[in-house]
Structure 1
Amino acid sequence: MGAEPTPEKPAVPVKPLRADAARNRAKVLVAAREVFAERGTGASTEEVARRAGVGIGTVFRHFPTKESLLEAVLGEILAGFAEQARLRTESPDPGGAFFDFFQLVVGESATKNAVSAELTGAGIDLHASGDEVRQELRGALGVLLARAQEAGAVRADVGLGEVMALLAGTSQATGNLDVLMRGRVLDVVFDGLRGHSS
């Protein structure tokens, strides 16, 4: 007679963070975004802890390494972009929604670019670590583009891949420009994207 099958062990549920721990994690992420935006990604985790009003041990409890903190910050930035894109998908002005979102991303990309560069330098595969949120962002941007094209506000021969490349390139190129020069660059890019009815 064969051996009795061993019953499978029940999966250990992932315990959700306690309310105070979740609040502390959120405070650390907000502080990290502010500190890295103001002082660059070379700023220390001690500075982040001070800004968040928590001990350094609290930071390390949630983010054991500087890279894990940077990854979480990048994830928050991308999730914020995806949410902003989704909010604009029902706008009564599809062209305005598309160009407004493009401008938003370019204007807020300096910290994202710095964090991405730091993580890439540390050998972290950014596409593997944030693939889900990137897909959400891509999907929402695709809706914005399609609606803007249907309204005649964006030329019909532009694909999502081209828009993503323009968005990434413009964000990278204008990161250190003042607001006036960034606006002029965006005007040129937008002129190239506009449809016949704009």
Structure 2
Amino acid sequence: MRADARKNRDRLLTVAGAVITEQGAEASLRDIARKADMGLATLLRHFPTREALLDALLRTNFDDLTARAGELEESSSPTDALVAWLRDCVACAHAYRGVTSLMSAALEDPASALHASCVAMRTAGTGLLARAQAAGEARTDVDGTDLFALVAALAWLGDQPVFEARADHLLDVVASAILTSGARRGEGRRRGGVSSTAAR
């Protein structure tokens, strides 16, 4: 890629990140191009679809989550690793308002530019969940697709002003529901009892 083309691409990604954070995943591509001082045709040369633009924005975060799962598996107990990754994953999905519906659709659409990244993220979470299940610390009737769905649901709740203040508490509730009773007791001891968010 020529230096000027790369500069344009980087500029588009910077502006798109700001616009989508403010307006959501359905923000106007024409508006993004205008704010980047470029034409829509230039944007579409770099990112032919909305999904391609979102994939470029999210791929680094998704790759980081995949790597993070490996680090947590080596450094933390199965329960701590699963809960920490769940929190990181929800935060990533929440970073761009409205992206969760596109992520969910991309899982079932191999033609989507987001498909590979979403599958990789689901696979990373599935590995941590399976490790916790093998240790008897997570319920066995939950699978990786369920975990991905819960991440999407929690990110969506964080997008809703009426629920935003409860987002951390609801994540605690969901994490507790995934864990077995013994793991929940251990998590409570590691936190020093009831979490501050749950006590609200």
Which TM class, normalised by the smaller chain length?
0.5 to 0.7
One-letter amino acid of the structure 2 residue matched with residue 135 of structure 1:
V
Residue identity (%) = 28
Instruction: Report whether the alignment pairs 1:84 with 2:68.
Output: no
The answer to whether the 8 Å contact 2:90/2:155 transfers is yes
Instruction: Report whether the alignment pairs 1:55 with 2:35.
Output: no
Larger Rg: 1
Q: Deviations over 1:131-175 (max 9, x none)?
A: 322222222112222333445543444322322222222223332
**Residue in structure 2 matched with residue 26 of structure 1 by the alignment:** 10
Q: Deviations over 1:45-95 (max 9, x none)?
A: 45424554x42253243235xxx1443214532552243132232221143
| Cα distance in 2 for residues equivalent to 1:119 and 1:136 | 12
TM-score, normalization by structure 1: 0.68
In structure 1, stretches of 5+ residues that fail to align are 1-16
| 1:192 corresponds to which of 177, 182, 185 | 177
| Cα distance in 2 for residues equivalent to 1:42 and 1:164 | 21
In structure 2, stretches of 5+ residues that fail to align are 187-200
User: What is the deviation of 1:97?
Assistant: 3.0
| 1:128 corresponds to which of 104, 111, 126 | 111
**Higher helix proportion (structure 1 or 2):** 2
**Residue in structure 2 matched with residue 148 of structure 1 by the alignment:** 132
Aligned CA RMSD, in angstroms, stands at 3.4
**Residue in structure 2 matched with residue 172 of structure 1 by the alignment:** 156
SS class of match (2:142)? coil
| Cα distance in 2 for residues equivalent to 1:34 and 1:49 | 12
**Residue in structure 1 matched with residue 76 of structure 2 by the alignment:** 93
| Cα distance in 1 for residues equivalent to 2:129 and 2:103 | 30
TM-score, normalization by structure 2: 0.67
User: What is the deviation of 1:37?
Assistant: 1.2
| Cα distance in 2 for residues equivalent to 1:73 and 1:108 | 13
| Cα distance in 1 for residues equivalent to 2:142 and 2:101 | 28
